[in-house]
Amino acid sequence: MEAVSPITDIINRLWDCITLRTDYIRELQENLNILGSRMAELRGVRNDVKTRVDIAEERQMKRKEEVGLWLQRVESTGHEVDQIIEEGNQQLSNRCIGGCCPKHCLSSYKVGKKVSKKLKMVADLKSEGNFSEVAYILPPPAVEDMAPRPTVGMDLMFENVRRCLREEAQVGIIGLYGMGGVGKTTLLKKINNEFLSRETHDFDVVIWVVVSKESNVKRIQKGIGERLGLPLPEEESQDTARAARICSVLRKKKFMLLLDDIWDRVDLELVGIPHPDSKNKCKVVFTTRSEAVCGRMEAQKKIRVECLRWNEAWDLFRNKVGEKTLNSDPKIPELAKVITRECAGLPLALITIGRTMASKKTPNEWNHAITVLRKSASEFKGMGDEVFPLLKYSYDSLPNDSIRSCFLYCAMFPEDDNIDKEDLIQHWIWEGFIDGFDVMNEAVNQGYHIIGILKLACLLESGSINENTEVKMHDVIRDLALWISRDCGKKQGKLLVQAHVGLTEPPEIEKWEETEKISLMHNPIGALTETPTCPNLLTLLLNDNYYLRRISDGFFKFMPTLRILDLSGTNISYLPMGIFELVELQCLNLSNTPIRTLPDELKILVKLKYLDLSDTAELETIPIKVILWLPRLLVLNLFNSCYGDWEVGGDGGASFGEAECLKHLKDVGITIRTLPFHQKFFNFHNLTRCTSSLKISGCEGLTALSPPPSSTSSTTTLTNMKYLKTLSLENLGLEELTFSWLVGREGGNRIPSNLETLILRSLFKLKIIKEVTHPFFQNLVVIDIRDCHALKDLTWLFGVRSLQTLYLENCIGIEEVICGGVATVEEESSTFSMLKVVYLFLLPKLKSIYQNALPFPSLQKMSVAGCPMLKKLPFDSNSAKNTFKSIKGEKIWWDQLEWDEEPHKSAFLPHFVDRVV
């Protein structure tokens, strides 16, 4: 190869350099076009990347740092490219010789060089923008904002929950329960948002999951997994695998799990939730409509979410209506208060109705709304399509149709009524909702079980006067029951309920035609003279129409299917002949009426099962063999009746021998008023076996409750009465009452231990009650003693641990309820452990209830009047904790009470009510 001379090499290098620089100038136009095109492509890639980033950030992901830097570089490069293109265009516009030569070669060269470099940079950036992932999943925030509506009237409940979450380490599971629409979810959201600030808690994560009625394990696991940002297997069979993943994450965290709207037990272990305890300090809080679910969830703390009090309800309703509407007419505020009361403190109803009324600015519209709400609440806008369907879930969740029927039947009673439990259960039994029991006591027990279920489901409430013996139905829940009874508002209803609405005349008979059940109870109706046609009527409740004196003979003529007729508490003194047209009648209740005689035609009603003649103070005649002709009779109640011919059937009257022949009798109530009848009654083994209520009154010559010498009975007087629930002794000459004889000859296995109520009235000579056999009183809940002047104490009450109500009145000799020094510390702690209500009236010598302070763990109410010597109560600051509601008495008596320590008085002072005011 020929060697290149140094001069030639220099010339070649110089030529290459000149050629390159010349290319920068010569190809400037083309390169500028290419640069603009490549930059447009890069910007397109950038836009795609930004879109992916935006989508990821909307999903709570965070963009990768390299993506952010790349986007910044693209943005910066774009500005630079725009400037270079502008400079290049200026150089091209300044060319001479027909645009072929630049005026300033050096400037054109520099611009051309920049273009060449930017082309490479743009190409590199485009290549780098091919990201497989632009963002990554963020760890979940400790708390998510739930944005609840403002809470009203929940401050106390909220503080209670917050204290459990922060201070009570032993409380790991908390249940918030209450009726639908009461604000449980709102309260739970408030609890969630309380922990939005890290300064208010030390939980690693707060998890919110809506469970709802149709929940399952996978759905709950999915909600928890999404909250934790935890991918979980989708296969239905992978519950265990999902649980293991959730558990492995939560074991490393201090968590709070909020479960909203649960309807049945959620197995936390199956879901994968580590059990909260004092060591891990984790918490589970849930809402439910059923107190029973709180038990199945093993909640250490149960908090009932109550309806709003008046002031709170009024504030909420006024807020939803708006001040402008309320001030649009002077009459509207008072009408608005009427509607607020109709809502009975239920937030859901207050909000729904308030929103509807916000546009109503005339009194006429408000009056119309009140009429609709009272007549048929489901027709009010929002109630039938929003409120009732939501509340109906509680009804649908009841265990079976029988219990659902029992619930619906409660609407037959008046609005806001305190319903006696025993009365309600009797109606359920009459209707056949409770059936299949050989012993009436068992049926009654089943009734109490159903009441418990309905209360746990928040569909019934405790009575406001006596929560031990009564229940109530919330007004909106009652409207719900009526709505359901009318097939959820889809067609004409089968109920006609106008109870306690002030009717002086019955509703138009046209309204009776399609109904199956009618309730007109508690009205001042004076007479029933129409002849309604009711081919489908099964139940007619006319009880407690105190002015009802006359029913025409034709009134019952066209009621061929009527099975239940309740005339109790009316002023009916005789039965109309038309009643004997009711050949399907199964229940006839004439209790607490001035009925004087039962006509002979009563025996036509051969399907009669329940005949209640209790508290018939003027009943004189029951024709002979009438009872015998009622072969299906299950219940015959003459407790506190004045019919007095039982022992002999005198004057052609019925005798108890007839009732003894009734093979299907399950329950009997009877009053013994003469010594001959007393001597004979206990020989009727079939009757005594099923007697549930017994009153012995008068019986001149009866001095002891033991078998009379003439008795041929081989058993002691009451031993065979194993289902006796109520025993009333009145106006007897007894000086001593000894219960030990109730044991019987065969030992304790024959003790009639079902006694629930003991009534002692006008036993003027009674000095002592002694030798109580404790098991006999194991179910005794009510003791009512009046006008027993010779009694000095009731020390025997130490044996009655089930006692719930104690009523003492006008017993002028009683000095102590329980004498001191008869009990051990252990006995003292259990004495009156179930006692809820105490009435002490007109006891002028009463000095002491008991010498020492007692726990009274269940005590709720005490009422004292006419007890001037009672200077000290057996209370200290630990008595009746968390249960006491009121102590009623004269203020002068209260001010003179002596207390061992001032804090003891301070503990009860807020509950004192001056009975004079």
Best CA proximity match to 186, nearest among 173, 195, 176: 176
Choose between 599 and 544: higher pLDDT: 544
Distance CA 367, CA 614 (A): 44
Burial class (CB in 10 A: 0-12, 13-18, 19+), 192: buried
What would the DSSP string read from start to end of 507-519? PPGGGGTT-SEEE
Q: What pLDDT shows up at residue 710?
A: 46
| Average pLDDT rounded to a whole number, residues 584-611 | 92
The answer to whether the CB of 900 falls within 8 A of the CB of 874 is no
| Average pLDDT rounded to a whole number, residues 440-451 | 90
Choose between 710 and 368: higher pLDDT: 368
Q: What pLDDT shows up at residue 77?
A: 85
Choose between 497 and 214: higher pLDDT: 497
Choose between 436 and 580: higher pLDDT: 580
Q: Is the pLDDT of residue 97 over 50?
A: no
* Structure confidence by residue, pLDDT tens digits, 72-89: 888 888 888 888 777 767
* Structure confidence by residue, pLDDT tens digits, 750-804: 445 678 899 999 999 988 877 555 555 778 889 999 999 999 988 888 767 889 9
* Structure confidence by residue, pLDDT tens digits, 8-55: 555 545 444 444 455 556 666 777 788 788 888 888 888 998 998 888
Residue 288 β-bridge partners: 177, 262
Q: Hey, what are 576's tokens?
A: 């109309």
Q: What pLDDT shows up at residue 134?
A: 80
Q: What pLDDT shows up at residue 104?
A: 54
* Structure confidence by residue, pLDDT tens digits, 105-135: 666 667 677 777 878 888 888 888 888 888 8
Q: Is the pLDDT of residue 92 over 80?
A: no
**Can you tell me which residue has the tokens 């709950």?**
220
Distance CA 179, CA 384 (A): 17
Q: Hey, what are 435's tokens?
A: 């059936």
Confidence bin at 715 (pLDDT 50/70/90): very low
Q: Is the pLDDT of residue 808 over 90?
A: yes
Q: What pLDDT shows up at residue 107?
A: 62
* Structure confidence by residue, pLDDT tens digits, 179-188: 998 888 988 9
Q: Hey, what are 764's tokens?
A: 């003027």
Q: What pLDDT shows up at residue 748?
A: 37
* Structure confidence by residue, pLDDT tens digits, 475-534: 999 999 999 988 665 544 588 999 999 999 999 888 898 899 999 999 999 999 999 999
Distance CA 145, CA 155 (A): 20
**Sequence-ordered list of residues with C-beta below 8 angstroms from that of 329, at least 6 positions apart, any chain:** 361, 362, 363
Q: Is the pLDDT of residue 451 over 90?
A: yes
Distance CA 135, CA 138 (A): 9
Choose between 467 and 827: higher pLDDT: 467
| Average pLDDT rounded to a whole number, residues 609-628 | 87
Best CA proximity match to 264, nearest among 242, 238, 297: 297
Q: Give the whole-number percent of the chain exceeding pLDDT 70.
A: 85
Q: Give the whole-number percent of the chain exceeding pLDDT 90.
A: 37
Q: Is the pLDDT of residue 573 over 90?
A: yes
Q: Is the pLDDT of residue 694 over 60?
A: yes
Question: Out of 124-133, 400-409, 565-574, 652-661, which region has the weakest mean confidence (pLDDT)?
Answer: 652-661
Distance CA 100, CA 81 (A): 24
End-to-end CA distance of the chain: 133
- Strand runs (DSSP E) across 185-322, as ranges? 205-210, 255-262, 283-288, 301-304
Distance CA 626, CA 623 (A): 6
Distance CA 321, CA 139 (A): 43
Phi, psi of 176, rounded to the nearest 5 degrees: -105, 115
Distance of CA 173 to the CA centre of its chain: 19
* Structure confidence by residue, pLDDT tens digits, 828-868: 777 888 899 999 999 999 999 988 888 888 898 999 999 99
Q: What pLDDT shows up at residue 493?
A: 55
Distance CA 643, CA 665 (A): 20
Give this prediction's pTM. 0.79
Confidence bin at 192 (pLDDT 50/70/90): confident
Choose between 538 and 142: higher pLDDT: 538
Best CA proximity match to 189, nearest among 88, 261, 120: 261
Distance CA 722, CA 752 (A): 4
Best CA proximity match to 378, nearest among 476, 444, 297: 476
Helix 105-128, helix 28-58: angle, nearest 10: 30
| Average pLDDT rounded to a whole number, residues 340-363 | 91
Q: Is the pLDDT of residue 742 over 50?
A: no
Distance CA 803, CA 814 (A): 19
Mean pLDDT of all residues in the chain? Answer: 83
**Sequence-ordered list of residues with C-beta below 8 angstroms from that of 499, at least 6 positions apart, any chain:** 412, 413, 414, 415, 417, 519, 520, 521, 522, 523, 541
**Sequence-ordered list of residues with C-beta below 8 angstroms from that of 878, at least 6 positions apart, any chain:** 853, 855
Confidence bin at 339 (pLDDT 50/70/90): very high
Indicate the residue type of 729. Answer: L
Each as own residue / partner, the long-range contacts of residues 790-798 (CB below 8 Å, 24 or more positions apart, any chain) are 790/735, 790/764, 790/765, 790/766, 791/766, 791/767, 792/767, 792/816, 793/817, 793/818, 793/819, 794/769, 794/818, 795/819, 795/822, 796/769, 796/770, 796/772, 797/831, 797/832, 798/822, 798/823, 798/827, 798/831
Q: What pLDDT shows up at residue 584?
A: 95
Q: What pLDDT shows up at residue 711?
A: 45
Q: What pLDDT shows up at residue 703?
A: 75
Q: What pLDDT shows up at residue 714?
A: 37
| Average pLDDT rounded to a whole number, residues 299-311 | 90
Q: What pLDDT shows up at residue 333?
A: 92
**What is the gyration radius of the CA atoms in the chain, in angstroms?**
42
